[in-house]
Amino acid sequence: MPRVSESHRAARREQILAAGRRCFTRNGFHATSMQDVIAEAGLSIGAVYRYFGSKQELVTAIAEDVIGGADGVLAGLAREHPDTGLAEVLEHALEFVDAESGPDGALRVAVQVWAEAMRDESLAAFVKDVYSRFRGHFVGFARRAVASGELPPDADPEAVASVLFGLLPGYALQRILTGGPDRATFLAGVRSLIGLQLR
């Protein structure tokens, strides 16, 4: 099919990305062959290579999608609830973690990306960039918490943000690796320790 519409091309690209993501979720980047992705997409070798010049390109696209997606969610949270307290923000963030913790969730790919970032410098740079911005959202939340009196005036927003940010992978890994505590229990633990007013 030549001279195909732009929307057709975009759809094909999405089809390949979705197939790759399913494969990588199931089996990781390295144990998934291009044949696997190609079969999952129901396309031919040539078709896939027209859209992604190499396996690395496909891996990178999916990795950036997954990592960037998480940042997008928190950015959305910051935009939609500009006056929310730390407690509620944390709860929304953990809801997002739960939603992506299933066998098809993005977190399984995220763990693969973390591992891949150990050996791929450019991917590491991307992750560092996105996660720094991600943590930046929490700095904003923490500043407002200091201003509103939710946190003591001498609290360092950067320091608080790094703890709140850290709670997310901490919770996510427990869910994925150990089956972990449910969100309510984890939040109860945070409440006991922190004394934030969680609803």
Contact set with a copy of itself (CB under 8 A): 26-31, 108, 111-112, 114-119, 124, 127-128, 131-132, 135, 151-152, 154-156, 158-171, 173-174, 176-181, 185-186, 188-190, 192-196
Q: From the list a copy of itself, DNA, none, pick the one residue 171 interacts with, judged by a Cβ distance below 5 to 8 Å according to partner type.
A: a copy of itself
Residues 6+ apart with CB under 8 A from 75: 137
- Contact between 12 and DNA by CB under 7 A: the answer reads yes
Q: Which is nearer to DNA, 35 or 148 (CB)?
A: 35
The residue range among 45-53, 77-85, 145-153, 164-172 that interacts with DNA, by the rule CB under 7 A, is: 45-53
Q: From the list DNA, a copy of itself, none, pick the one residue 4 interacts with, judged by a Cβ distance below 5 to 8 Å according to partner type.
A: DNA
Q: Which is nearer to a copy of itself, 13 or 69 (CB)?
A: 69
Q: Which is nearer to a copy of itself, 43 or 117 (CB)?
A: 117
Q: At what angle do helices 34-41 and 6-27 cross, to 10 degrees?
A: 130
- In the complex, least distance from residue 117 CB atom to a copy of itself, rounded to whole angstroms: 6
Write the DSSP symbol of residue 195.
-
Could you tell me if 18 and 8 are in contact, meaning their C-beta atoms sit under 8 angstroms apart?
no
Identified binder of DNA from the candidate list 50, 92, 143, 183, rule CB under 7 A: 50
- Contact between 1 and DNA by CB under 7 A: the answer reads yes
Q: What is the largest CA-CA distance in the chain?
A: 65
Q: From the list a copy of itself, DNA, none, pick the one residue 149 interacts with, judged by a Cβ distance below 5 to 8 Å according to partner type.
A: none
Q: From the list a copy of itself, DNA, none, pick the one residue 156 interacts with, judged by a Cβ distance below 5 to 8 Å according to partner type.
A: a copy of itself
Per-residue exposure over 68-97, b if at least 16 CB sit within 10 Å of its own CB, e if not: bebbebbeebbeeeeebbbbbbbbbbbebb
Q: Is 120 left (phi over 0), alpha (psi -120 to 50) or beta?
A: beta
Please give the structure tokens belonging to residue 92.
Answer: 């929304």
Residues 6+ apart with CB under 8 A from 34: 45, 48, 55
DSSP state string for 12-47: HHHHHHHHHHHHHHHHTTTS--HHHHHHHHT--HHH
- Contact between 9 and DNA by CB under 7 A: the answer reads yes
Identified binder of DNA from the candidate list 18, 39, 45, 184, rule CB under 7 A: 45
